[in-house]
Structure 1
Amino acid sequence: MPTPAHHQTIAIKPIIVPTDGRDLELQVKVTAPVLGADLPVIVFSHGNAWSMDGYEPLVDRWTAAGFVVVQPTHLDSRRFGIGFDDPRFGTIWRVRIADLHGVLDHLGHVMEQAGLTDRVDQSRVALVGHSWGAQTVGALLGARVLDDTGNPREDFFRDGIKAGVLIAATGTGDSLTPFAVEHLSFMRPDYSTMSAPALVIAGEKDQSKMSTRGPDWFLDAYHLSPAPKQLMAVPNGEHTLGGVAGEAVAETTDADPARVALVADAVSAYLFEALDVSTNAWSTFRVATETEGRASLRRKD
């Protein structure tokens, strides 16, 4: 049976985003519903080694709900082959942040290239990221990266972003493994300045190989940041939360389509309310989710 038209989506790629000082061109993919107007926008930052072609289970569900999703390919993507020994790797965390700023700076150009100018509400834009992408998004929401002496690096805060979602976000850097200390020095976020509204999503069984702490490491973005914040802890969820990056991909250790749907729907509901698309989408989702026992939810206002 054909998919109903209001659930059909279109994808346009690659769209080139103008950049300065980037060795490789910044490409994005735009996915949108076939129908609808005044559509809100999600700019999504992928996890380590992925690209604009990943995370289809999330993107398909968001676009079916009525979002336009823009996915940049960051320099750590597997397709570029920039490993730990490449001198460029140490600055990729900054380039990732610049990528998001670049997409936001040129969002009108991106929408024009995708043929969506008249269907998108560019005043309703949110940022979402998974894993390294979540830390990248956090920087635009006000989080800083600490240097080796504990002092904050540059401020990358982006004014005008109404809300963001951090999925499996890096915890603080005081419990990194020796490998992470040597190769991933940027994994030292300071969430005390992340003032923008955000939803933090974490798996209750997410044990990172980069941290000596347990799954509570992924709750730092919620506990250590100022209000307003929301938290959804997913029972039995591991780092890919059921397979958010794709079906049956190698990184998925807890395959569960229902868990992926839960994460996707939580993001949609939270952002619909945060972007003033709906007055009670998140409130309704919270009540239903808690009643059914599908996740643990907390808030600080």
Structure 2
Amino acid sequence: MKRLVTGVIALLMPVALTACGQAIAAPVPAPRAAAAPQQAYAVGVRTLTFGRGTARPLPTIAWYPAASGSAGDAPRRNVPLADGRFPIVLYSHGLHSMPAHHAALTTRWAAAGFVVVAPAYPYTNLRTARFDRGDVRNQPADAWHVINQVRVLNDVPGDLFAGRLDTARVAAAGHSAGGYTTAGMFTRGHSARLRGGIVIAGGMRDTFGGPPAAMLFVHGGADPTVKLATARSAYDRTPWPKGFLTLPGQRHGEYMGPGQPGFDQIMATMTDFLRWTLYGDATARGRLPADAQRPGVTRWEGRI
């Protein structure tokens, strides 16, 4: 597996949505979101030092909308954030990977108006001296710790993020083992601020529970690492608004590379999913089926 991959309900309706004759619980209402950005931002980047004790260091990269510069420029370190308050997206890498390997996704989300934070998990990242595949079970708690630490920065005078985070609106996304980590955050007892999840080439070992949250699954139809049936099982067991984007014939993540077949479709779909779930953008919700469709390359289904 290559290094890159080794490793947005309408206005958040407070009533049940119904699709295909099945009632689907809507996410828990939150204070009204700011309008979704209509422009692309330049991107800033900073490094944060978190950890759950000395045994679980969680160095984290954060990409964010920058106040100056041009969209499409390389991210600039520690520059001021753009005006406004931006939702948080937690991104989880896969086995033997690193947050920076997923910058093709994370920088595009930052440019679209999200603060994207990505920890390096202590025992599954590429550089760990003590690799442990089984430690994935501990990573949802790591992810929550990072989210909570980032939220604190919104109230720290003088911090780069002070007054710039919409801490009531959070989503999670991840690839492969990071997809399992993401799904594992949506179990019973999770915070209602977690409003959406994107599982890329992953599945769910536990049972979805807690406050409703929309879920998007992205999967290669010929994935030899995490079988399509595994993701389909997780999708079928998801009791909330949900979508599934299949890339027929593709494997474990080559579609995550710019220029690869399906990349434009997955990026448009994931970004509009985030705009919908975190900004309440009803227009983005309506675009999802068209975002996801490219005959012969992608296939979409959903109850959203």
Q: Which moves more between the two structures, 116-125 or 72-81?
A: 116-125
Per the alignment, residue 45 of structure 2 pairs with: 11
| 1:134-184 C-alpha deviation (Å, 9 max, x unpaired) | 111111112xxxxxxxxxxxx67344311111111136xxxxxxxxxxxxx
Contact map agreement 1:167 1:200 (CA 8 A) in 2 = yes
* TM-score, with length taken from structure 2: 0.72
Q: Structure 1 residues 227 and 156 mapped into 2: Cα distance closer, same or farther (>3 Å)?
A: closer
Q: Unpaired runs of 5+ in structure 1?
A: 143-154, 172-188, 248-255
**Distance apart, 1:93 and its partner CA:** 2.1
Q: From 174, 185, 204, give the equivalent of 1:129.
A: 174
SS class of match (2:127) = helix
**Distance apart, 1:205 and its partner CA:** 1.9
Q: From 199, 217, 229, give the equivalent of 1:200.
A: 217
**Distance apart, 1:258 and its partner CA:** 4.8
In structure 2, what is the Cα distance between the partners aligned to 1:168 and 1:39? 27
Per the alignment, residue 160 of structure 1 pairs with: 193
Contact map agreement 1:6 1:34 (CA 8 A) in 2 = no
Q: Structure 1 residues 281 and 80 mapped into 2: Cα distance closer, same or farther (>3 Å)?
A: same
In structure 1, what is the Cα distance between the partners aligned to 2:208 and 2:90? 23
In structure 2, what is the Cα distance between the partners aligned to 1:263 and 1:288? 8
Per the alignment, residue 142 of structure 2 pairs with: 99
Contact map agreement 1:57 1:260 (CA 8 A) in 2 = no
Contact map agreement 1:51 1:77 (CA 8 A) in 2 = yes
% identical aligned pairs: 21
In structure 1, what is the Cα distance between the partners aligned to 2:248 and 2:59? 35
Q: Structure 1 residues 130 and 67 mapped into 2: Cα distance closer, same or farther (>3 Å)?
A: same
Q: Unpaired runs of 5+ in structure 2?
A: 1-38, 68-81
* TM-score, with length taken from structure 1: 0.72
Contact map agreement 2:261 2:297 (CA 8 A) in 1 = no
Q: Structure 1 residues 223 and 28 mapped into 2: Cα distance closer, same or farther (>3 Å)?
A: same
SS class of match (1:57) = helix
In structure 2, what is the Cα distance between the partners aligned to 1:228 and 1:289? 16
Q: From 209, 233, 245, give the equivalent of 1:220.
A: 233
In structure 1, what is the Cα distance between the partners aligned to 2:52 and 2:229? 37
| 1:33-84 C-alpha deviation (Å, 9 max, x unpaired) | 2134222211111111212222011012111211110001102112112235
Contact map agreement 1:128 1:166 (CA 8 A) in 2 = yes
Taking CA–CA contacts closer than 8 Å with sequence separation of 6 or more, which of the two structures ends up with the larger relative contact order? 2
Contact map agreement 1:128 1:165 (CA 8 A) in 2 = yes
RMSD after superposition: 2.7
In structure 2, what is the Cα distance between the partners aligned to 1:129 and 1:59? 11
Contact map agreement 2:243 2:303 (CA 8 A) in 1 = yes
Is 1:27 aligned with 2:34? no
SS class of match (1:205) = coil
| 1:161-220 C-alpha deviation (Å, 9 max, x unpaired) | 11111111136xxxxxxxxxxxxxxxxx13454853211111112122xx6xx5333322
Aligned residues: 247
